[in-house]
């Protein structure tokens, strides 16, 4: 009996020591779950906000002078900092002066404070939800000076819910403030907007996103090619959250702790930028054969005709900016090595020709979407652009047809 008990305890101990032994190569899970970069490096005060400094400065001044409004409307595309700014504003209003200011501030930034109520407008959009909010607004805050309602995606509320909120938002209880966030402000009724101070969050410039990504990579002790960081910033389309999410994917995919352009292309399925640059260079050299060969290589790599035309137009735009503003301009969003290559390629064109080539890509792109043979149109466009020097100059095309000289007037003969 004792022997059986001893064997059982030894078996249980072995199971406890090696809970993952059934899956070879799988290590024990970490003690704490991983927090994605977009959450870990979220702005926590007005000084950390990237790309929305005028709004942060205005809100900070309003708090310092005691001129905060009872309702705010934050508008902008996804990932530009609307909800983060709402939490920062709520934290600046409610945590100072409290005994547990740090704990309260952390709870607000996590969206877990009892006096700062976060509501998802998409899932709490009915009139009953609005009535519950109105009923709760009459209750005094538990520990802070204000009871703050942050309503995300407020444009998802129904018309009846907006009408129920209307009077409360116009004359709320003295201890209540509203912060509304939306990606589609045109869907918010004008009657609601007129009762709010509206702030429009702009898209964050790619250089600002790239600078923040470099700071994050330095804190994480991760090496990355500057060209790859810039490309991630451009792919984010003005959204810091999207940029950090893309960076998270690359970090997870990296096997050597480095982020390169090759890894970026592999993970995101992007076409080889070197092939696009070579295609544009062949067009600039006026070599239709080389241009067709590189165009074929681009399509054989899995790029669609529509995407190839978009990439080519974007390359011509970069060369146009380099030709007009210089390769060192901030408008040219490239690394130093890529700037030198762009300056060399831009020397093969003039600005008018590049503008014309962009227009050709755009026209063929629209036609290819409705054509039964888009490849034929693409190949013809490539040859047309490579032989652009044999056609009328772009400046002459833009100027329009030359008017014919009027016929010489015959002298009138008097009878």
Task: Show the domains of the chain with their CATH numbers.
Answer: 38-200 (3.40.50.300), 206-268 (1.10.8.60), 273-391 (1.20.272.10)
pLDDT value at position 189? 93
Q: Taking a C-beta distance cutoff of 8 angstroms, is the pair 121, 153 a contact?
A: yes
Percent of the chain beyond pLDDT 90? 43
Distances (CA, A) of 155 to 85, 124, 126, 194, 414: 18, 11, 12, 15, 82
Count other C-beta atoms under 10 Å from residue 163's C-beta: 15
Residue 88 reports pLDDT greater than 90: yes
Residue 40 reports pLDDT greater than 60: yes
Return the sign of the alpha-carbon dihedral for residues 81, 83, 88, 92: positive
Residue 413 reports pLDDT greater than 60: no
Count other C-beta atoms under 10 Å from residue 183's C-beta: 18
pLDDT value at position 20? 44
pLDDT value at position 97? 73
Return the sign of the alpha-carbon dihedral for residues 334, 339, 343, 345: negative
Q: Which of 60-64, 245-249, 393-397 has the lowest mean pLDDT?
A: 393-397
pLDDT value at position 391? 62
Distance, in Å, from the CA atom of 272 to the CA atom of 282, rounded to the nearest integer, reads: 16
Q: Taking a C-beta distance cutoff of 8 angstroms, is the pair 325, 370 a contact?
A: no
Q: What pairs with residue 152 in β-bridges?
A: 120
Mean pLDDT value of segment 340-364: 89
Instruction: Output the average pLDDT for the chain.
Output: 84
pLDDT value at position 404? 53
Closest residue by Cα to residue 334 from 230, 204, 217, 208: 230
Q: How, if at all, do strands 71-75 and 176-182 pair?
A: parallel
Question: Which has more confidence, 103 or 335?
Answer: 103
Q: What is the pLDDT of residues 194-222, one digit of tens each?
A: 999 999 999 999 889 999 999 999 999 99
What's the burial of 226, exposed, middle or buried (CB within 10 Å: 0-12/13-18/19+)? middle
């Amino acid at each position: 009996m004792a022997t059986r008990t001893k064997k059982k305890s030894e078996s249980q101990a072995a199971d406890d020591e090696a809970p993952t032994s059934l899956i070879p190569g799988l290590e024990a899970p970490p003690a704490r779950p991983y927090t994605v970069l977009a959450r870990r490096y979220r702005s926590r005060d007005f000084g950390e906000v990237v790309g929305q400094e005028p709004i942060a400065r205005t809100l900070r001044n309003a708090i310092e002078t005691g001129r905060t409004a009872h309702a705010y409307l934050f508008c902008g595309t996804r990932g530009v900092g609307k909800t983060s700014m709402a939490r920062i504003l709520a934290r600046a209003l409610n945590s100072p002066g409290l005994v547990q200011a740090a704990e309260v501030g952390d709870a607000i930034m996590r969206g877990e404070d009892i006096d700062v109520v976060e509501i998802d407008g998409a899932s709490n959009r009915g009139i009953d939800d609005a009535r519950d909010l109105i009923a709760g607004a009459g209750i005094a805050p538990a520990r802070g000076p204000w009871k703050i309602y942050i309503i995300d995606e407020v444009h998802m509320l129904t018309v009846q819910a907006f009408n129920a909120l209307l009077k409360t938002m116009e004359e709320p209880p003295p201890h209540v403030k509203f912060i509304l966030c939306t990606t589609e402000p045109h869907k918010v009724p004008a009657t609601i907007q007129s009762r709010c101070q509206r702030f429009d969050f702009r898209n964050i410039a790619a250089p600002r996103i790239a600078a923040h990504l470099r700071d994050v990579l330095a804190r994480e002790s991760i090496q990355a090619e500057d060209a790859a960081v810039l490309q991630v910033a451009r792919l984010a389309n003005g959204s810091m959250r999207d940029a950090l999410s893309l960076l998270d994917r690359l970090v997870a995919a990296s096997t050597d702790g480095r982020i390169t352009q090759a890894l970026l292309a592999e993970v995101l399925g992007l076409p080889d930028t070197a092939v696009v640059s070579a295609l544009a260079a062949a067009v600039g050299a006026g070599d239709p054969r080389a241009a067709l060969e590189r165009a074929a290589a681009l399509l054989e790599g899995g790029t669609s005709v529509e995407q190839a035309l978009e990439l080519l137009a974007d390359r011509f735009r970069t060369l146009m900016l380099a030709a007009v503003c210089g390769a060192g301009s901030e408008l040219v969003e490239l690394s130093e090595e890529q700037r030198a290559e762009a300056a060399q390629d831009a020397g093969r064109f003039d600005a008018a020709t590049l503008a014309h080539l962009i227009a050709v890509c755009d026209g063929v792109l629209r036609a290819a979407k409705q054509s039964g043979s888009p490849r034929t149109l693409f190949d013809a466009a490539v040859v047309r652009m490579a032989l652009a020097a044999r056609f009328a100059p772009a400046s002459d095309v833009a100027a329009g047809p030359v008017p014919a000289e009027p016929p010489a007037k015959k002298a009138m003969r008097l009878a």
